[in-house]
Amino acid sequence: MKTALFSLLALTLLFSGCTKQPECPPPPAEVKAPPPPPAPVVKANTPVLTQHKPIRITVVGQGVAPCTGSCSPEQALVLAKRAAIVDGYRLIAEKVKGVYVQGRDYVHNMMIKSSKVRTFVDANIRNANVIDTLYKDGLCEVEMEITLNYSQLSY
């Protein structure tokens, strides 16, 4: 009889003892999957090239005639226009391909001596069009555009 009572008491202690002790670790909580990363935020006005939506990029290049007074107005216009077109190409390349920026600061005795920023552009451009030309007071402004198509991309 005593043996049965002891064994019953031992079983009771065995099954109920751990729940009353404060130092027992809590039961493992349900593991939740981490939330998915947020979708990339695209600004409202950022053009995105898709298959059925070509992007048209428009720039205005500026150029001045190298000769002031020493050449005829027509010659000045031609030279300024050529410079403006080259400037327009540079702007298109900056927009389409991007710009490399390199900064260099020279510090001597805790004082900055010189600060220089250099930018580089290097690109191949095809099928850019001159839309409009404006020449006034020796300054030539050329509006240029290029259309980017999904089919023109080469990977």
Partner 1 sequence: MRSRDGNYAQLFSALLLVSSATTLLAATDAYIISYRATVKNAQLLHEKLSLSRAMTPCRGSVENVELILPIAQSQNLRTIIEQNRDAFFTYMQTQDLHVKSAASKGNNSYSELTTLTLPPHCFIVTINENFAIISAFK
Name the residues that contact partner 1, by CB under 8 A: 62-66, 78-80, 82-87, 89-90, 92-93, 114-130
**CA 76/CA 78 separation, integer angstroms:** 5
Q: 107 near 97, Cβ under 8 Å? A: no
Closer of 17 and 98 to partner 1 (Cβ): 98
Decide whether 18 or 123 has the Cβ nearer to partner 1: 123
Quote the longest CA-to-CA distance of the chain: 129
The whole-angstrom separation of Cα 142 and Cα 106 is 38
Written as six digits, the tokens of 2 are 């005593």
CB of 80 to partner 1, least distance (A): 8
Closer residue to partner 1 in complex, CB, 55/121: 121
Q: Minimum distance between the CB of residue 153 and partner 1, rounded to whole angstroms?
A: 15
What is the smallest separation between the CB atom of 67 and partner 1, expressed in angstroms?
9
Rounded to whole angstroms, the Cα distance separating 63 from 78 reads 10
